[in-house]
Amino acid sequence: MITLTLLHPLQSTPIKSWSFENESVIRVGRATDNNVVLYSAVVSRRHLELRRQGRNWDLISLGTNGTYLEGKFIEKIAVTDGLIVRLAQSGPKIQINIGGIPPRTRFDEEILGEWMRKDGTTASQTDRFGETTSEEDTAASTKPIPPPIRVAPSPETPE
């Protein structure tokens, strides 16, 4: 598996990821028929390609504004796990991961933030006081609540 992750331009935190299992060529650019589409004025329609060579990947820069690694222009480079390239000198940064689990993106954090706690427990495993609940407690809390019981006044009580 290979994963491409768009990084925040200032903080370098993951914003969006694309994972590919069986592709031998992955195209990145502004054109909508690319595998990864990036809408940026400095990104070319066909900016770069990643080509599988056996178990390895090569990155080939095709864009007019170039592709940069640590501020240096590159035309072709062997991809290593965690490689970060910039499309054009001022364009988006892409991190490339080979195999393993892709980094969590800001989108993942927004969606999972409400559901997953920092300690790894889910919201359904933690009650409102922060106490971890057992499966039995969780199962009991999902049972329907019976309707209230109406108590008729006793005959001795004046109305």
- In this structure, what CATH number is given to the domain that contains residue 32? 2.60.200.20
And the tokens for 159?
A: 């109305």
Characterize the bridge pairing of strands 36-37 and 25-29: parallel
pLDDT value, residue 101: 56
Other CB atoms within 10 A of residue 88 CB: 18
Q: How many domains does the chain have?
A: 1
| Structural domain contains residue 81 | yes
**What does the pLDDT look like over 43-55, one tens digit per residue?**
999 999 999 998 8
Angstrom distance (rounded) from CA 124 to CA 141: 10
pLDDT above 90 as % of the chain: 53
Contacts of residue 133, Cβ cutoff 8 Å, sequence gap at least 6:
124, 125, 126, 127, 141
| Structural domain contains residue 38 | yes
pLDDT value, residue 94: 96
| Structural domain contains residue 42 | yes
| Structural domain contains residue 153 | no
| Structural domain contains residue 34 | yes
pLDDT value, residue 110: 52
**What does the pLDDT look like over 80-112, one tens digit per residue?**
999 999 999 999 999 999 986 555 554 455 544
User: DSSP string of 117-132?
Assistant: -TTS-BGGGB-TTSPB
| Structural domain contains residue 79 | yes
| Structural domain contains residue 127 | no
Residue of higher predicted confidence among 147 and 61: 61
| Structural domain contains residue 64 | yes
pLDDT value, residue 12: 81
pLDDT value, residue 55: 87
Residue 114: pLDDT over 90: no
pLDDT value, residue 56: 93
Residue the block writes with tokens 């990036």:
38
Write out the residue range of the structural domain in which residue 77 sits.
23-92
